Amino acid sequence: MANNGAMTPAQNLREKLPFPLKRLADLAYNYWWSWTDNRITLFKSIDPQAWEQCGHNPVAILESTSYERLTQLATDPLYLKQLQSLVADFDTYMAQQDTWVSKVAPQISKDAPIAYFCAEFGIHESLPVYSGGLGILAGDHLKSASDLGVPLVGVGLLYRQGYFRQRLNRGGWQEEVYLDNPFHQMPLELLKNQHGEPLTIELEIRQRVVKVQIWRVNVGRVSLYLLDTDRHDNDPIDRWLTGHLYGGNQETRIAQEVVLGIGGVRALKAVGIAPSIHHLNEGHAAFCTLEVAKQKIEQTGKSFYDVEAEVRQTCVFTTHTPVPAGHDVFSPDLMDSYFAHYWSGLGLSREQFLALGARRLGDPWEPFGMTVLALRMCRAANGVSQLHGEVSRKMWTVMYPERPENKVPIGYITNGVHAPTWTAPLLSDLYAQYLGADWKTRAIDPAMWEKVDQIPNEELWWRHQVLKERLIAHTRYKVTKAREQRGEDGDRIHAAKTLLDPHVLTIGFARRFSPYKRGDLILRDAERALKIFGNSDRPVQIVFAGKAHPADEEGKRIIQRLMEWCRHSAIQKRVALIEDYDIYTGQKLVQGVDVWLNNPRRPLEASGTSGQKVCFNGGINCSVLDGWWCEGYKTGADGKGINGWAIGEDAHTSDQEVQDRIDSQSLYKLLEEEIVPLYYNQDANGVPHGWIAMMKASIKTNAPLFNTDRMIADYVTQVYAPGCSQISTPSLAQVIA
């Protein structure tokens, strides 16, 4: 790969900036800036209004700002000092050689990195190629890999219109809006060949040759390669293969997974990367195992079965789906139409090829399962929480009839979150004062987090209250804007400006609106809910956010019911739903709520990470014991939670209607008897010392465990390089420091 002497987008942008600001271009083209404490002011202070209008896109704001304004910044000594300090930190970070992984697993080298495949990546709101938890987890995975110095590259798809923009009509019904992403104004680089033309790879899809171009995103020390079929020399249908995330029919889905898996392996080869490990984050990328095998066959002349074991040694798999219906499967006929040309290159017959994805061998109508293929072709597989590992072993025991369920080869590594990304700078500053300036690099050290007790209650509380006020201001802005767009009457629009109260106990609920997540569980007994939220002495308020999949009619009905509830005269100032949930709104929510509510049907939450983000900001979880909360929830001698609350933990039934009733009653009881009284037990200065004790317990018990530094360390020592220097959690913090 060569650039033929042409300048990169960052170099082009640098040429347009006044001399003292030129390094802004380097920061704009590397998302490292987005997890620094200076992220609030660095680009926003250029032009706050333009910053909002461009979707917090650093390249767009630098390209659109007048030269006059840029020269004003170039003569502002305070801004220049901030920029110089940040550039020094960036240069030190990028040049660091003595990283954690260099000490623990030096065999993972830049010459043979880990290749991490995922259908979506949630890096930042200015790169909208994500829909929810899977993408956010993948983005955090890349960031912590960068922080720990793990040689890793990401592989995904660059969607022309991303997932969708959510709009709710006057009836509360979700409508999907699709907008083109302006790739050439985003922090991306289209890779070029030695002739200065876009570097491409070719795939055969639907009996047509499809050219795929490759873009690079810089995420600290990690490169993310995104594949794009929107080229003029492709058939119009094929140009839309990377049009939408999780859109279209089964044919679109299988074609996208061919681009991701097979195209991803070819793209890495085209850019000169030879991975030592291919990490499949969910089954969408499972076809990559076939292309790895195909290339080995072409290199060695061996048969598929001769190279199969070697391929398996280079592939690992993480499953995120706890129900069979959530795993991608394709009919034999569909596999014929997409792979009839391909299996001959593997030296396989149709029957041998289809058997790779069949749970039960010998059934000609058995669909081809992507998770099945991944399990067959990967040497290691894991779920994303302890409970999810158990559920996955039970689910896939059919593939291992000779093994008892507890010996099915699927382990678990519990998900975490990237602490610097999700911790509010106001809290990060507080941690730097009391835990140490290096707290971010020691996030997995329990002894460090014990120092949270040294933070004065009043200090923690006022910062939390300011963050709650920020959430309320953001909610009012978003709701006002949405009501204006819907053409609601002036009184309703004006009422949004007094929505919510920073002195009131505030609950947050934000996730995909799917029936199993039970977003409207709190409405099940409407009369009891009104008494809780409409209480004049000890009121409660709640902020909802989230999207329903475009094809999920029941999910949309849940949103509609919540919107109706928002209009109830008794509580209309206590309930809000923020449209078009994204990373930016997610940050405001997890940083500002008092309580994070999560009430899925068990055991359908594989892990969940939003509640983990809340812990780093002093929020407290109230959740069904599912996913990560089974590991995070701690009780005292009296059996009550010391760091949060568990919903309906004493009663389980397979009758969903009965379980919904049990869980809703449990939630109401917790609110009435424990949560509300604890919050409103405040001293003369309005400080709830008992509540703050639980805030501190939430931080101390959860922060060291549920972060992606610990998660990445687990992947390195258990999956990527098993047998390397095994280390305990405190030791990891010492090595990083």
What is the DSSP annotation of 452-474? GGGS-HHHHHHHHHHHHHHHHHH
Q: Is the pLDDT of residue 200 over 80?
A: yes
Q: Tokens standing for 292?
A: 């790895």
Could you report the per-residue pLDDT of 678-692, keeping only the tens digit for each? 999 999 999 999 999
Q: Is the pLDDT of residue 736 over 70?
A: no
Q: CA-to-CA distance for 227 and 118, rounded, in angstroms?
A: 12
In contact, 681 and 675? CB cutoff 8 Å: no
Provide the 3-class DSSP secondary structure of residue 347: coil
Could you report the per-residue pLDDT of 24-53, keeping only the tens digit for each? 999 999 999 999 988 888 999 999 999 999
Predicted pLDDT of residue 3: 52
Predicted pLDDT of residue 731: 37
Q: Is the pLDDT of residue 643 over 90?
A: yes
Predicted pLDDT of residue 5: 62
Strands 505-510, 368-369: pairing kind: unpaired
Q: CA-to-CA distance for 303 and 314, rounded, in angstroms?
A: 17
Average pLDDT, the chain: 94
Mean local confidence (pLDDT), 545-559: 96
Mean local confidence (pLDDT), 286-311: 97
Which residue, 249, 134, 244, 157, is CA-closest to 203? 157
CATH superfamily, region 456-706? Glycogen Phosphorylase B; (3.40.50.2000)
Burial class (CB in 10 A: 0-12, 13-18, 19+), 224: buried
CATH 3.40.50.300 fits 105-412, yes or no: no
Provide the 3-class DSSP secondary structure of residue 166: strand
Mean local confidence (pLDDT), 1-24: 86
Predicted pLDDT of residue 154: 98
Q: CA-to-CA distance for 154 and 118, rounded, in angstroms?
A: 8
User: How far apart, in Å, are the Cα atoms of 110 and each of 95, 194, 277, 540?
Assistant: 14, 23, 12, 52
Q: Give me the sign of the Cα torsion angle 514, 387, 715, 619.
A: positive
Mean local confidence (pLDDT), 156-163: 97
Lowest model confidence (mean pLDDT) among 105-119, 133-147, 355-369, 521-535: 355-369
Tally of CB atoms within 10 A around 564 = 12
Mean local confidence (pLDDT), 142-152: 98
- Helix ranges, 595-655 (H): 610-615, 629-632
Provide the 3-class DSSP secondary structure of residue 435: coil
Lowest model confidence (mean pLDDT) among 237-251, 336-350, 365-379, 648-662: 648-662
Q: Is the pLDDT of residue 269 over 70?
A: yes
Q: Is the pLDDT of residue 317 over 60?
A: yes
Q: Tokens standing for 518?
A: 């039970």
Cis status, amide bond into 409, omega within 30 of 0? no
Lowest model confidence (mean pLDDT) among 234-238, 504-508, 575-579, 646-650: 646-650
pLDDT more than 90, % of the chain: 91
Q: Tokens standing for 540?
A: 């409660």
Q: CA-to-CA distance for 624 and 518, rounded, in angstroms?
A: 11
Q: CA-to-CA distance for 253 and 246, rounded, in angstroms?
A: 7
Which residue, 149, 91, 156, is CA-closest to 123? 156
Could you report the per-residue pLDDT of 404-444, keeping only the tens digit for each? 999 999 999 999 999 999 999 999 999 999 999 999 999 99
Q: CA-to-CA distance for 597 and 610, rounded, in angstroms?
A: 10
Which residue, 89, 96, 106, is CA-closest to 146? 96
Which residue, 283, 238, 274, is CA-closest to 117? 283
Q: Give me the sign of the Cα torsion angle 585, 591, 595, 600.
A: positive
Do 105-412 and 456-706 have matching folds?
yes
Angle of helix 304-313 versus helix 288-300 axis, rounded to 10: 120
Q: Is the pLDDT of residue 733 over 50?
A: no
User: How is the chain split into domains, by residue range?
Assistant: 9-92, 105-412, 456-706
Q: Is the pLDDT of residue 727 over 60?
A: no
Predicted pLDDT of residue 436: 96
Q: CA-to-CA distance for 322 and 319, rounded, in angstroms?
A: 8
Strand partners, 38: none
Here the contacts of 31-34 (C-beta below 8 Å, separation 24 or greater) are 31/123, 31/124, 31/127, 31/187, 31/217, 31/218, 31/219, 31/220, 32/90, 32/93, 32/94, 32/146, 32/218, 32/219, 32/220, 33/58, 33/86, 33/90, 34/123, 34/124, 34/421
Tally of CB atoms within 10 A around 494 = 11
Provide the 3-class DSSP secondary structure of residue 237: helix
Mean local confidence (pLDDT), 309-323: 94
Predicted pLDDT of residue 725: 55
Planar angle of CA 622, 627, 628, nearest 5 degrees = 75
Could you report the per-residue pLDDT of 55-66, keeping only the tens digit for each? 999 999 999 999
Predicted pLDDT of residue 655: 84
Mean local confidence (pLDDT), 528-556: 95
Predicted pLDDT of residue 363: 75
Lowest model confidence (mean pLDDT) among 290-304, 459-473, 640-654: 640-654
Could you report the per-residue pLDDT of 320-369, keeping only the tens digit for each? 988 776 788 999 999 999 999 999 999 999 999 999 999 887 777 789 99
Tally of CB atoms within 10 A around 582 = 21
